[in-house]
Amino acid sequence: MPVLLISFITPTSAQESIITYIKKDGGFTPLKDSAAYTSILHLRPNDTGLYQLHEYYPNGNLKRRGWVKTADPKRLRFEGLLEDFYDNKILKATYQYSNDKLLDTAKKYYRNGVLKETIVHLNPTTPPTDLSPVDLSTRLVYYADSLGHVQVSNGNGIVTIIPDETEKEQGEYISGLREGHWTGILHRGKSQFEEWYSNGILEKGVTTDSLGQQHKYTQKDVEPEYPGGIMQLRMFIGNNYRYPTEAIKANVSGQLLVSFVVEKTGKTSEHKIINDLGYGTGQRAIEVLKRAKDWTPGYHRGLPVRVAYSVPIQLNLN
């Protein structure tokens, strides 16, 4: 899913850091009071050439810290240890990166500080394919509930996972991979599903909805798709976008970011300008996107779902 990062830079003494204010929807703002958190990228590299990153909640507590390979807030390429924190200062997760890719051991914690899961990221021997879209280089080696009751140890065990308040799934892990028959509920129990795994690969699944209708699938999550692919959407935007007159006079160039929701029907809604260049450029982008074709909707366990999407649009008068 395309994502654009635009920073609003606040000068500091000797330009020692870049301060970025980030909104809840992922957009960027020049106003600290309207930001969900603040990101500070320190411009003095360490002995290995890495730059330190700190992010803070509005209450001043640390949200995330780690190291990146470039002094550019638009392209944070992580390296080494990255730590996430809850707003109550409790450690949320730790990750290890190598060249901006997850590697080695990652750990996640509950808000009360109890270790939730440990995942090992191995060097993948073969990349995921259409026939096997699962990254089998990832292994779950430990899982426990919020009270510390261990369900998976050394990659083996029967586990009950609650991704959010609307879902629950149960099944077995063997050597860190899902295996055999899994069951669960969706939509607070209004729908039920069954899945069958072999060596971590989903072989088949079926969801029974609230009306008793069955929906078969072989992929747990399917992203929405524009007719002909994302390049066709970009071509449509390029062929139909017209610069506002005021933007031409101001010689505006740069990148917009517009978000929208692909509904269960494939139609789009809730168009929003995440990052604007002003002079009506963002609103013109929304007008173009509203004239685009309907999408093939996204699916979760065989059922159509609403999916948020964002599209960067490059403007250049030349």
Q: Which domains does the chain have, with CATH numbers?
A: 230-315 (3.30.1150)
Q: What is the pLDDT of residue 316?
A: 87
Q: Are strands 177-186 and 168-174 parallel, antiparallel or unpaired?
A: antiparallel
Q: In whole numbers, what is the pLDDT of the chain averaged over residues?
A: 89
Instruction: List beta partners, residue 296.
Output: 225
Q: What is the pLDDT of residue 29?
A: 80
Predicted TM-score (pTM) of this structure: 0.81
Choose among 283, 311, 270, 274: nearest CA to 24: 274
Tens digit of pLDDT for each residue in 69-115?
998 887 889 999 999 999 999 999 999 999 999 999 999 999 999 99
Mean pLDDT across 257-285? 93
Q: Which long-range contacts (CB under 8 A, 24 or more apart) does 136-139 make?
A: 136/177, 136/199, 136/200, 136/201, 138/176, 139/175, 139/176, 139/177
d(CA 187, CA 72): 41
Mean pLDDT across 19-46? 88
Phi, psi of 231 (to 5 degrees): -65, -35
Q: What is the pLDDT of residue 306?
A: 96
At residue 228, does pLDDT exceed 80? Answer: yes
Q: What is the pLDDT of residue 124?
A: 61
d(CA 160, CA 116): 12
Choose among 89, 144, 138, 134: nearest CA to 114: 144
Q: Which long-range contacts (CB under 8 A, 24 or more apart) does 160-168 make?
A: none
For residue 38, name the pLDDT band (cuts at 50, 70, 90): very high
Q: Are strands 80-85 and 51-56 parallel, antiparallel or unpaired?
A: unpaired
Mean pLDDT across 239-267? 92
Q: What is the pLDDT of residue 275?
A: 84
At residue 8, does pLDDT exceed 60? Answer: no
